[in-house]
Chain A
Amino acid sequence: MLRFIVRRVLQAVPTLFGLSILLFIWVRALPGGPEYALLPENATAEQRAALRRAMGLDDPVIVQYGAFLGRLLQGDLGQSLQTGRPVLTEFAMKFPATVELAVMAMIIAVSAGVPLGYLAARRSGGALDSLVVGGSLVGICTPVFFLAFVLKLVFAEQLGVFPSAFRQTPGIDATRITGLFVVDGIATREWDAAWDAFMHLVLPGLALASIPLAVIVRMTRAGVIEVLGEDYVRTAEAKGLHRRTVRGRHVLRNAMLPVVTAIGLLSGALLAGAVLTESVFAFGGIGQFIYSATQTRDYPVLLGFILIIAALYVLINLIVDISYSLLDPRVRVS
């Protein structure tokens, strides 16, 4: 087991290393280097050249990359052109918001997707099945940002059931510990603050959940249909086990295996989707910051955030792989 983990970690290292090279080349190739971004527009060509020399931009590319990697390993990802703060600081400040949102979306997606997919599979070809399959296809085909706007328009602006923006009502008095507002509220027994933060999570959470929900429904359905045809389910039925034992231990447990893998891959879709939903709800997470970074061409932030997200994504899939091997004993031996 330990060897499996170590091997998977070692496999991820070259991927991330290569990615850092690619991103480094990418940021060098971007139109308009820092000599344009940092100096006023009326600066002379000599001034710009001097800055390039001072920043080491005229050194051989290998040397530049070495310096970049050295800074990277010290956690120095440069500074945001928008705020002037270090990129890593910006990330740390905004990350909890996105984590909270992504977890909310995943909870919605799994808790609705698995039962729906299961019911659809049990009666495959029936009315509920058609509805679920059709709904999930529409979900996949709906642009996330449009869904976010519609949810906001209907439930926040028209009906006023949920707040339309931010993570908590401005001015609310809340203690911050982890930066996860709901968790903080519960930990400090500030129930009002927790509830308020939760309500702020509902609409962006729903919008963000749309694609993972659709995917999980479809995978659960396909998995259950496949497993229902397996010989071991027939064996379980032949033993006369209670229906719920057959369903839980034999059908769902096996049908969930591909879904677990999908959750890892979907975490990427969540991070990308966060860029689209957070900006709609002014949620203030990394997604919204990436959105504003693309608007203002804040390249250090784009580079740094994308690199961190890639690392996180690799890490999440590593964790998923490991938990998969706990669920499926066959993986462990190979």
Chain B
Amino acid sequence: MPAGPLLAVDDLSVTFTQRRRRDVKAVDGISFSLDEGSVVGLVGESGCGKSVTSLALMGLLPSRGVRVAGRAGFRPGGGDTEADLLSLPSRRMRDLRGRELAMVFQDPLSSLNPVVPIGRQVTEILVRHRGLKGRAARSAAADLLARVGIPDPGRRLREYPHELSGGMRQRALIAMAVACRPRLMIADEPTTALDVTIQAQILELLKELVTEEGTALLMITHDLGIVAGLCDEINVLYAGRVVESAQRHELFRAPTHPYTAGLLASIPRLHASRDLPLTPIRGTVNDAIDWTDGCAFAPRCDNYAEDCLGGPPHMREERAGHRFRCVHPVRTDAAAVSAEQSPAAPEPSAPKGEDR
């Protein structure tokens, strides 16, 4: 049993710099870790830095105008040697990407090359990392498509992205991601662009692949419903920092940061009384203040008090494994929600392959 987690992100920050403009800190010191075979969620509203985090880990941020700091220890091949994904030379990253690290993107249509047949887009990764050629690559690609639930894979291989439905495209992208049995898969809002019924199928597929292959999954989403049904551990992000981190059940039972509590309270619930109003969070992410000035969430927070300003609140850990960054946390009883009751958790028995 190797020591330590598969991926340990420590104080990752990403700053976008532009001439004659103020620097923008998209990610401002994120730390979290991920064990082999586990499923971890990064949750937050759009603009909180979750996609930038995933791109930074994959080494896909542009080299100019971006400053990346911190450390992301990754153990390729599950061995004891640890490599820092943020400082590896681009050649080494290129070897890791697609083989050890894979990624599924948000918009399956724009993420597929419109003028290259699906088959070619699947085989190219097999050619690159598994050294397959010609017919062998094609039949492996067909197997992969079948594996992700695409019917008639032989025909689909010859088709172009625009000829496939949204769900099929996302399945194809997932096929590319799992082609080399990666140790870590990052899924960035993989279901946001899809219909609800298909969302459930895709989540089910991801869950199944992860369990069977032992791949660790970093799930990036704004939808607490998705993490509720999928993730072992959840990190809630706000304005580029982790504001709360806990096991799934713990987080849903006892959300402690007012932001997490607010997110949970703003989800419509089937079993809640009809008279109970939904309570959205005031304002938008644009209202955030700089962490150096105080808690970024302060302008939108109900528990806001004067001592929230002046500097970033520290991470506190009151119960083992449950950390939060708040001076005036929500006390459990006030906003208790049980994970079982959690809302839009995907229907596990959703039929497969209906989105043809």
Chain A residues packing against B (C-beta within 8 Å):
230-232, 234-243, 245, 249-250, 253-254, 257, 327-330, 333
User: Which residue of chain A has the shortest Cβ distance to B65 in the bound complex?
Assistant: A125
A249 close to B111 (CB less than 8 A):
no
User: Which residue of chain B has the shortest Cβ distance to A234 in the bound complex?
Assistant: B60
B113 close to A330 (CB less than 8 A):
no
B110 within 8 A of A: yes
The smallest C-beta distance from B40 to any residue of chain A, in angstroms, reads: 19
Extra 18 A-B pairs, beta carbons < 8 Å, given A240-B125, A249-B120: A231-B105, A231-B107, A235-B105, A235-B112, A237-B60, A237-B97, A238-B105, A239-B98, A239-B125, A240-B99, A242-B128, A243-B94, A249-B113, A250-B113, A253-B113, A328-B115, A329-B114, A329-B115
Partner of B94, one of A234, A242, A253, A327: A242
Partner of B111, one of A231, A253, A254: A231
The smallest C-beta distance from B117 to any residue of chain A, in angstroms, reads: 8
Main secondary structure of the interface of A (DSSP, over half): helix
User: Which residues of chain B come closer than 8 Å to A236, judged between CB atoms?
Assistant: 113
| Interface flags, B93-128, vs A, CB<8A=1, else 0 | 111111100110101001111111000100011001
User: Which residues of chain A come closer than 8 Å to B107, judged between CB atoms?
Assistant: 231
A328-B114 in contact given A235-B105, A240-B128 (Cβ < 8 Å): yes
User: Which residue of chain A has the shortest Cβ distance to B186 in the bound complex?
Assistant: A238
B128 close to A241 (CB less than 8 A):
yes
Partner of B176, one of A231, A234, A239, A328: A239
User: Which residue of chain A has the shortest Cβ distance to B113 in the bound complex?
Assistant: A232
A52 CA / B289 CA spacing, docked (Å): 88
A257 CA / B115 CA spacing, docked (Å): 10
Chain B interface size, under 10 / 10 to 19 / 20 to 34 / 35 or more: 20 to 34
B129 within 8 A of A: yes
A238 close to B97 (CB less than 8 A):
yes
A245 CA / B55 CA spacing, docked (Å): 20
User: Which residues of chain B come closer than 8 Å to A249, judged between CB atoms?
Assistant: 113, 116, 120, 124
A231 close to B115 (CB less than 8 A):
no
A141 CA / B116 CA spacing, docked (Å): 38
A330-B110 in contact given A238-B102, A241-B128 (Cβ < 8 Å): no
User: Which residues of chain B come closer than 8 Å to A241, judged between CB atoms?
Assistant: 94, 98, 124-125, 128
A257 CA / B110 CA spacing, docked (Å): 17
The smallest C-beta distance from B100 to any residue of chain A, in angstroms, reads: 9
B116 close to A253 (CB less than 8 A):
yes
